[in-house]
Amino acid sequence: MKLTWYGQSAFRVEAGGATILIDPFLSGNPLWNRGWEGPAEGVTHVLLTHGHNDHLGDTADIVKKTGAQLVANFEICMYLVGQGVSGEKINPGNTGGTVDCGGFTTTFVQALHSSSFNVGDGSNVYLGNPLGLVLHFPEDKTLYHMGDTDIFSDMALINELHGPEIGLVPIGDRFTMGGAVAALACRRFFKFQTVIPCHYRTFGLLDQTPDKFVAGMEGSGTKVLAPEVGKAVGV
């Protein structure tokens, strides 16, 4: 499995014959801001955890240009159909459900957050519940993108049901759990082989380094990767 972090919660995942973009906030992302065309090259799927602008990002343009399959909650899928995405390209689900994506499955799990899209006139469009995403690859590791969330005790059930080896974990505080709490979540509820922190440094309101998370994970036996933006890593 190969992962590339583009800042905030945007990742490219290459595994099981699929090339996946998760939460592709690329245009306007201060840590990337080089457009979506490069990260979207060869993409087969776009997965979304929730509808906030810094997660939904360039999804509509990417799906319309590439023909990638869109995997998200029902409200987000229907909203993007209204923005010109083909209804034949959507693969909707919701909390607790699993969808077959062709070559891998995605299970939608709980996240403690909110979900709406700011349409630019001060109003927000409601886009369903926020979610985490568990990706099962038959011939590769299981990956859990937590989305934007706080710690919650049912993370233990997510681990029991899915046993993810790779965790993509928000650590920036203010809008999600901070680094110390994120480390507690990983240590108490999961047996990750590798964790990659995200949702930090992008904006001034967020923690600017992963230091609290890295310190909290010391001695856990889990490998912490804090990759450079745009640099692929193998996990």
pLDDT at res. 176? 98
pLDDT digits (tens, 9 = 90+) for 24-51: 999 999 999 899 999 999 999 999 999 9
Segment 8-35 shows an average pLDDT of: 97
Mean pLDDT over the full length of the chain: 98
Q: Where are the beta strands (DSSP E) in the chain?
A: 2-5, 11-15, 18-22, 45-47, 69-73, 90-93, 98-100, 105-110, 116-118, 124-126, 131-136, 143-145, 166-170, 194-198, 223-224, 232-234
Domain ranges of the chain: 2-234
pLDDT at residue 33 in the model:
84
Q: What's the distance, CA 27 to chain centroid? A: 17
Residues in the chain: 235
pLDDT-based confidence at residue 74 (cuts at 50, 70, 90): very high
Closest CA to 63 of 45, 41, 78: 45
- Give the pairing of strands 45-47 and 69-73: parallel
pLDDT tens sequence across 142-181 = 999 999 999 999 999 999 999 999 999 999 999 999 999 9
Percent of the chain with pLDDT over 90: 98
In tens, the pLDDT along 100-138 reads: 999 999 999 999 999 999 998 889 999 999 999 999 999
Render pLDDT for 185-228 as a digit per residue (tens, 0 to 9): 999 999 999 999 999 999 999 999 999 999 999 999 999 999 99
* Architecture category of domain 2-234 in CATH: 4-Layer Sandwich (3.60)
Q: Is 58 left (phi over 0), alpha (psi -120 to 50) or beta?
A: alpha
Residues 65-79: what's their mean pLDDT? 98
Token pair belonging to 108: 């939608």
Q: Which two three-digit tokens encode residue 220?
A: 């856990």
